[in-house]
Each structure stands twice: as C-alpha cells, then as structure tokens.
Amino acid sequence: MSDTASNRPELPSEIARRRTFAIISHPDAGKTTLTEKFLLYGGAIQMAGQVRAKGEARRTRSDFMQMEKDRGISVSASAMSFDYGTFRFNLVDTPGHSDFSEDTYRTLTAVDAAVMVIDGAKGVESQTQKLFEVCRLRDLPILTFCNKMDRESRDIFDIIDEIQENLAIDVTPASWPIGVGRDFVGTYDILRDRLELMDRADRNKVAESIEINGLDDPKLAEHVPAHLLETFLEELEMARELLPALDRQALLDGTMTPIWFGSAINSFGVKELMDGIANFGPEPQIQVAQPRNIAPEEKKVTGFVFKVQANMDPKHRDRVAFVRMASGHFKRGMKLTHVRTKKLMTISNPVLFLASDRELAEEAWAGDIIGIPNHGQLRIGDTLTEGEALRVSGIPSFAPELLQSVRAGDPLKSKHLEKALMQFAEEGAAKVFKPSIGSGFIVGVVGPLQFEVLASRIEIEYGLPVRFEQSQFTSARWVAGDKQALDKFINANSQHIAHDHDGDIVYLTRMKWDIDRVERDYPDLKLTATKEMM
C-alpha cells in the first residue's frame, strides 16, 4: 500500500488519512461478507464470521435488532471505525432494504464515498440502481466491487456496459478477472501490474501476489493456464482500448468509478479494493452549510447529527445521536453549542464505534463518526459548533408514501404509545402525525416493512403490543404560508389537518386530486413533500 499525495494539501495528516464511506448494494450481493473482510483486514475482528455470528450474549452493532435477526436484513445504520495501514476507515453501514431509503439517504449525507457491491452473476440490480441514484444526488465518489467471481459470472464487458448505461457513469477497470466460474484463477491488478491468485482452499488467506513486468513477462504463463491466458490478454487489450484509464479527479467528481473484481467470501480482491479506497478515495470533504460551508481543516470543531438511534441498549433508555465530525479536532469533555437551541452541551461520554465494541472516544477528527448518548436533545439535522451559528444543510425529511393509523392493544396505554411514537419520529424511523380532530395517531413511512419494524420495536422496547390499521389518508404534505392564509386553510380543512412531531402543520391527503385542489384554491400557501430537518 502506498500513500498517494493528498489532493488537498491543506488538510492536517490526521484528517487526510481518514476515509469515511458506506457500502451500497442489492440484498445478497455480499455486503455483509465484504464488511466482515474489511474488519478482518482492519484488524478489528480476529476471525471472519464474527459480524454475522448471532451470539447470545454479545450482539454486534449491525445486528442488534430482533427484526434483523429474524429476517436477515440490516435495518439500522451503524458506524464502524478501524485502521488500515496508515489510514483510518470509518465505515457507515446503510440499511439494504428498499423500505429504508430515507434512512439510507441521510446516512449517505455523512460519508464522502460509497462502495457499490454488485453480484457478478446479476449485474446492476434494482436496489443498486436506487441507491446509486441517491449517491448521484450528492455526486458521491463511487468505487465498485464486482463480487462472487468464484462462481459463474456474466460477461465482464456486459457488466461494465450495464453500469455505464444504467448508471450513466464511466467505468475504469482497476483489475481484470482471469477465467470465469470454476476456471477463475484470480485477477490482474491493472493499477499496479500484479497478478493476484485466489486460493480456493483457504478462504481467509490473502491472495498470492506476483509482480509482473509487462504482459509478455514469462511469470504470467507460469501461473496462468495457456487457454485462460490467451483470452485474458485479448480481453485486457480490448479493455484498454475501449475503457478509460483511472482519473482520480473524475472519481472524486463522481463521474467515473473504478471496478475491482473479486470474491468476498474467499477474501479475494478485498485488499486491493481497500487499497483503492485508501489511495484514490476522497479525504473528508467540505460540508455544505448555512450561512457558509465548513472545511474539514478549520481549527474549530463542528459536527452534525445524521442519525438518532434509540434504545441501543435495552437496559438503558438512552439514545445515541450519530454525529459526523465536519471540522476540527474534537476532544472528550469539550463544550459545544447546540445551534438549534443555542445551549452549550458538554460532550463528556462520546462513543467511537470501533468495530469490536463501543468505546469512549477521547478524540475525533473531521471525517470521524462519534455517538453522543443523550436524552432526546439531539435530533437529526442538528449542528454542533464551538459557538458559530452554522447549520449543516441538505438532510431532508421526505413525505411518507404510506400512512396507517396506530392503536395500542390496551387503550389505557395510549400515553405510552404516544411517547414511543414521538421517540421513533425523532429518531427519523417514521413520521408521526396527530390529527387535529379525533384521537389516535397516523404513522407515515416510505415502505411497508417499516410498519412491521415499528410494531416489533414498540413491543420489544416498550412492552406495548400495537395494531396498525388502514387509514383513509394516502399521503401528507407540509404546509407553509402567512398566518392569515394558514388559519383560513386550517379552518376550512380541519378533517385533513394534523401536526407532526415538531408541531409543524401537515395536510393529510386522500388522493392526488386533494393536493391539486389546495394548490388551486390557496395560491398563497406552499405544500411541500420534503422538509429540511433542523
């Protein structure tokens, strides 16, 4: 592994060595396996299998919820930090299921790059496409890992074409596979001119790596069977003719993705990918904020909350706010200003999510993710600074696409239910609306599985069985306007009016036509499908 010179020489080395990224993929492509191997090479776990091992006593962070265990899906985003050579990797886990796109979106505001994992037999799948589009909204740099090359895969040029066509991004091969399926022997590392040979017998063994001096180096023929070598050389020549070479700036701009081929389960190609993240991936980037942007090298500390997780430890009713450090050098015990409330907070017990366990964070640099336990003061979108009134922007809240009413199994427990719902709303797990007429709550989500997750969490975390029921409403819009226009609107439409957990006015709609009608009849009001979290 070699350090390449920083493209932002103004960054202190502690910041420049940080790589904060997420992995995006379609379920089953191999994200968990790849994460596990990252942690293994990062020295964070001793043995592969630990991330997934569902031990009774100790549950790993990406696996602490019952739903995840039962259904094998990753519901909650979590962060893991580990060192790789001279680099510090902060890996932020994204929920893979399409029902959690809002959570995923917010998670992606906290990273500087994404690793896109695709299954070599399947190519770009629906969820890959969706997640990619979310990354595109922020021009996030993407590094691609084409996994499961130990099995029959599709034609490599086809896969690359598909990425270029469907995702509209240039692809540059960082490695090239030799042989397919059972004949797959390894890859040629194009960036470093090395032959990497996979060991099928030992899944945790690092591949044998042989330096190659030009493509007529006899070492190639020594290690690669003649019939595979011929095809490989032809393909490589074609690839070099047809595909662009790696251009780091294009990668950083999000217009080019390097692709590595490998097999996560065989630990193959993973180190090359990690070296790629280290050497070509972005350093902590400038954070868009109001009234000015924040540069990571600024001396003063700033950070913002991109996720709140309640009840991480069932024994304590605490919440952990996940904070992405945007600038400066944070030290434990610092007093930071909570910009929304203008109050000072002493951050005395911040947590660093070292992959093996939660640990007190004595310090953190721009790019790091820390957890701040709190009792509800910290919300998604909040900014912490050393006094300046900065607000990180671009963390949206989306109008839900599915609405249901919710009731406690025991009507006497409705206050409890309200508390639980408010907590989930603040956490960003659902939208909760209190209609201005009648009792009860309407819960809004983006995907149907979220109702099940909520019901399960309310039952497990609050001991409260609940029922979700069909609601007459199908969508919601936030309403803004001057007081007079708003009052008139609210009086005339009280059946449709509710308040969200922040107290903002929401118009609940039965059909698209409702929205058209309001827009026509109340031209002074603004209906919006997103609201910036603040």
| Binding-site residue ranges for GTP | 25-32, 93-97, 147-150
By CB under 6 A, is residue 263 in contact with ligand G4P? yes
> Is the CB of residue 501 less than 8 Å from the CB of residue 425?
yes
* Shortest distance, position 30 Cβ to ligand G4P, whole Å: 4
By CB under 6 A, is residue 148 in contact with ligand G4P? yes
Using CB under 6 A, which of the segments 144-152, 250-258, 344-352, 507-515 binds ligand G4P?
144-152
Both tokens of 532, joined, read 């910036």
Both tokens of 451, joined, read 């109702």
By CB under 6 A, is residue 104 in contact with ligand G4P? no
* Shortest distance, position 142 Cβ to ligand G4P, whole Å: 16
Q: Distance (Å, rounded) from C-alpha 364 to C-alpha 367?
A: 8
By CB under 6 A, is residue 267 in contact with ligand G4P? no
Both tokens of 490, joined, read 């609210």
- In the bound state with ligand G4P, the residue whose beta carbon lies nearer, of 30 and 282, is 30
Q: Binder to ligand G4P among 16, 18, 22, 25 (CB under 6 A)?
A: 25
Q: Binder to ligand G4P among 265, 378, 380, 498 (CB under 6 A)?
A: 265
3-state helix/strand/coil string of 366-413 = CCCEEEEEECCCCCCCCEEECCCCCEECCCEEECCCEEEEEEECCHHH
> Is the CB of residue 509 less than 8 Å from the CB of residue 497?
no
By CB under 6 A, is residue 151 in contact with ligand G4P? yes
The H or E element containing residue 145 is strand 142-147
By CB under 6 A, is residue 30 in contact with ligand G4P? yes
Q: Looking at the chain, how many residues does it have? A: 534
- In the bound state with ligand G4P, the residue whose beta carbon lies nearer, of 120 and 284, is 120
By CB under 6 A, is residue 29 in contact with ligand G4P? yes
Q: Distance (Å, rounded) from C-alpha 454 to C-alpha 424?
A: 8
Using CB under 6 A, which of the segments 38-46, 264-272, 330-338, 405-413 binds ligand G4P?
264-272
3-state helix/strand/coil string of 54-118 = CCCCCCCHHHCCHHHHHHCCCCCCCEEEEEECCEEEEEECCCCCHHHHHHHHHHHCCCCEEEEEE
Q: Which residue has the tokens 């942007």?
A: 293
- In the bound state with ligand G4P, the residue whose beta carbon lies nearer, of 29 and 455, is 29
By CB under 6 A, is residue 33 in contact with ligand G4P? yes
By CB under 6 A, is residue 27 in contact with ligand G4P? yes
**Total binding residues for ligand G4P by CB under 6 A?**
16
Binding-site annotation: residue ranges: 25-32, 93-97, 147-150
- In the bound state with ligand G4P, the residue whose beta carbon lies nearer, of 22 and 29, is 29
By CB under 6 A, is residue 60 in contact with ligand G4P? no
By CB under 6 A, is residue 295 in contact with ligand G4P? no
By CB under 6 A, is residue 127 in contact with ligand G4P? no
Nearest-5° Cα angle at 482, 478 to 484? 110
Q: Binder to ligand G4P among 78, 109, 147, 405 (CB under 6 A)?
A: 147
* Shortest distance, position 261 Cβ to ligand G4P, whole Å: 10
CA distances from 298 to 13, 291, 347, 365, 366 (A): 13, 16, 20, 11, 9
Both tokens of 267, joined, read 């630990």
Provide the binding-site residues for ligand G4P, judged by CB under 6 A: 25, 27-33, 147-148, 150-151, 263-266
